[in-house]
Amino acid sequence: MNKNKTVHIISHTHWDREWYLPYEKHHVLLIELMDELLQTFDADEAFKSFHLDGHTIILDDYLQVRPEMREKVQHYIKEGRLQIGPWYILQDEFLTSSEANIRNLQYGMKDAEKWGGLARVGYFPDSFGNVGQAPQILQQAGIKTAVFGRGVKPTGFNNTAEDTDIYESPYSEMKWEAPDGSTVLGVLFANWYCNGNEVPVNEEEATVYWNEK
């Protein structure tokens, strides 16, 4: 194993406001998550950051129930420990209109900047395919990097990819190019956005894991 390599484990949630449960049940779970997250920030300075799934509407949902936590939330955003945006609500690009996608990004970026922090990452963790103009839109918004979970065949770790140029890639990093020639660095999630769940906590088991991966 190359001991000079550094692995970054990014703590985050993938948060559907309403999906397999009604909104109200997801809302209750969100309050529990945010309460525990803020308590963790308070108690553990070594817990450096948490990515709040790329959308800012989560904060509105939380403060609807916990308005007294506004200053604490803003403190950790400004400190860089709570990463938010750039979307207002995490979108599926093919379920909404083109203008809705643009407005979503504009509103989310303004909202994140109002809070005092903006994660400039084109975040598409679970979109069912990505629009070709995404790099063009991101470039115009000042965003140079995108991460995504669909659009090309998954690769990395124990995933496989066939040697073909049709809608697949054997790489997890690529130059993602729009029809107008705009490009961003595209990073494909290996083993999905929850791949950190696979990392063993036990040090000896973790060593074996990283040697293999």
- Catalytic positions, written as ranges: 126
Interatomic CA distance for residues 182 and 136, integer angstroms: 5
Count CB neighbours of 177 within 10 A: 14
Cα separation values, 199 from 158, 191, 210, 212, Å: 13, 12, 8, 12
Report the phi/psi class of residue 121: left, alpha or beta, with left for phi > 0 and alpha for psi in -120 to 50: beta
CB neighbours of 36 closer than 8 A, spacing ≥ 6? none
Of 116, 94, 120, 125, the closest CA to residue 105 belongs to: 120
Residue 137's CB is within 10 A of a number of other CB atoms, namely 20
C-alpha span between 92 and 124 (Å, rounded): 8
| Cα 206 to Cα 4: distance, rounded to the nearest angstrom | 16
